Amino acid sequence: MRDRLLEDIDNVLLERVQRLARRRGWDPAIGLEQVLERGLRSLEAGDGMHFESREAEALQAALEAMGNIPDDPGFAMIGRVARSH
């Protein structure tokens, strides 16, 4: 299964795992094992990013307030697409 698994992993993903392993001083196989183990544990535990109701409401209010910043040639245009006339 190990050889087959390595053949099926996307090259970009495999390179990310290999870089992580190098940074941690792990053998590449140990790196892959750690990524699988920790990722599986996180998914099984349901450790996804989520907000409490108050936090979600505050974030939504902040995003809406940012959307109401008037257009100007500076700060307010960051991240916005220029309108065509």
pLDDT of residue 71: 67
Is a pLDDT exceeding 70 seen at residue 47?
no
Whether pTM exceeds 0.75:
no
**Average pLDDT score, the chain:** 80
**What long-range pairs does 59-67 form, CB within 8 A, spacing at least 24?**
none
> How many Å apart are CA 8 and CA 23, to the nearest integer?
24
> How many Å apart are CA 13 and CA 15, to the nearest integer?
5
pLDDT band at 39 (very low <50, low <70, confident <90, very high): confident
Question: CA angle at residue 16 from 11 to 22, to 5 degrees?
Answer: 120
Q: Considering the chain, what percentage of its residues have pLDDT values greater than 90?
A: 19
pLDDT of residue 49: 66
